[in-house]
Structure 1
Amino acid sequence: MESRVAGAGGQDWWMLPLELPATAPSYRSVVLRPFEPRDVGMLLDLSTDPYVPKIGTLPAHTDEAGALAYLDRQADRLVNGAGYSFCVADKETGEALGTAGLNLGPIAAGRASAGYSVAPRARGRRVAAQALTALTGFAWTVPGLHRVELYIEPWNLASARTAEIAGYQREGLLRRHQEIGGARVDMVLYATLRPGR
């Protein structure tokens, strides 16, 4: 049986608008902060990746207007309670390095899914693993959340390594689980559980 926590006016808490944490989640050299207009350059770089636009809402080879529209969509996720979107940034300089997000679509069942991407110019520094570790630590502050899942295509060995470094365990292959780039593809399920449960 699901445990449902009521919010203001008897509304379920996961249906309410969300707020970013007062203290930005961080791990080692990265911090997860709100997106800012200065992050457009990172988004322009990220949009040149051949895969990232296929799995998210950032258009391929976008322009400044497309990047700003992406920032608006990330803010909307908080307002409508869909989840948290963060800019992954260098802890010392604030330079934008990538994105990280927590999708709360399945939160009523105690689950969420995580996603992350690193701009091409910031790769090779273990940014993704640090960002995912910070995001996962933040996830355990969300009431009622007991499990965070990742869906990774079998060929994406770098993302699988990132998941494992951040403490996720491979649970199995989900055949033709998701549509990406107009085709149904297999996904490997990785997950981590709330500590102490």
Structure 2
Amino acid sequence: MPLIETGSIRLRQFAPKDSPLVASVSDDPLIPLITTVPSNPEPAELEAYLARQHGRFSQGWGYSFAIADRDTDDAVGQLSLALRNLSFGRASVGYWIVPAQRRQGRARAALAAITDWALRFDQVHRLELYVEPWNEGSWRTAEACGYEREGLLRSWEWVGDQRRDMYLYSRIAG
């Protein structure tokens, strides 16, 4: 698992000490719906979440990083780089930040770091991310990192018990 450091953030493997972070977002209205964060923050569920993050690369899914403060190493969120479509030259990015740490540039720093890192690989020609239209903070983060909105994907995926629209953003190598 690579360690990526830049500016004020560190992208690193999840550790047992990150369980409180995961537990803190288990009651978030969105994060457990679009990720594998458990809505039941019991110790066994938190341990299973951390184990899933460790297994992402070995299972061929991609990478799951804890976004951590570079000075304290305290985790503030999660960032994934999914490689399911790598044979087509595409990878996708997703991220979340704990509410108390939002609007401090941490998502932008993490997205910029993973974008620069991923686009160095010959196999990655295109990075994609999907953002619900109402999530202005997330799409502004994408735009600040050079991602371009390509369009609205209507009824793109299930979030909870309903189909949701998503903006498609991309960043192209070169």
TM interval, shorter chain, is over 0.9
Corresponding residue for residue 12 of structure 1:
none
TM-superposed deviation, 1:143 = 3.6
Give distance in 2, aligned partners of 1:72 and 1:179. Answer: 24
Please state which structure has a larger fraction of its residues in strand: 2
Runs of 4+ in 1 over 2 A off after TM superposition: none
Identify the residue that residue 168 of structure 1 maps to in structure 2. Answer: 147
Per the alignment, residue 104 of structure 2 pairs with 125
Q: How does 1:20-59 map to 2 (within 5 A)?
A: 20-21=1-2, 24-59=3-38
State which of 121, 137, 144 in structure 1 corresponds to 2:116.
Answer: 137
Query: Within 1, Cα distance between the matches of 2:37 and 2:71?
Result: 26
Q: Which residue of 1 aligns with 2:44?
A: 65
Question: Which TM-score applies when normalising by structure 1?
Answer: 0.84
Contact 1:50 1:60 in 2 (8 A): no
* Alpha-carbon displacement from aligned partner over 1:23-63 (angstroms, at most 9, x marks no partner): x2223201101110001111111222110011011112422
Question: How many pairs align?
Answer: 174
Aligned position for 1:179: 158
User: Match for 1:81 among 60, 84, 93?
Assistant: 60
Cα 1:78–1:53 change in 2 (3 A) is same
**TM-score, with structure 2 as normaliser:** 0.95
Q: Secondary structure at the match of 2:23?
A: helix
Q: What's the secondary structure of 1:102's corresponding residue?
A: strand
| Distance in 1 between residues matched to 2:113 and 2:26, nearest whole Å | 23
* Aligned equivalent of 1:158: 137
Amino acid at match of 1:164: E
1:190 equivalent to 2:174? Answer no
* Structure 2 CA distance for aligned equivalents of residues 31 and 62 of structure 1: 25
User: Which runs of no fewer than 5 residues in structure 2 stay unpaired?
Assistant: none
- The structure that has the greater radius of gyration is 1
Per-residue displacement from partner, 1:95-129 (whole Å, max 9, x unpaired)?
Answer: 11100010111111000110000012222211111
**1:67 to partner: Cα distance:** 1.4
Report the 3-state secondary structure (helix = DSSP H, G, I; strand = E; otherwise coil) of the residue aligned with 1:142: coil
* Same amino acid, percent of matched pairs: 43
Which secondary structure does the structure 1 equivalent of 2:56 belong to?
Answer: helix
CA distance in 1, matches of 2:111, 2:33: 20
- Stretch of structure 1 that moved more, 102-111 or 39-48: 39-48
Please give the alpha-carbon distance, in whole angstroms, between the structure 1 residues aligned to 2:106 and 2:42. 25
Instruction: State the alpha-carbon separation in 1 of the partners of residues 120 and 173 from structure 2.
Output: 10
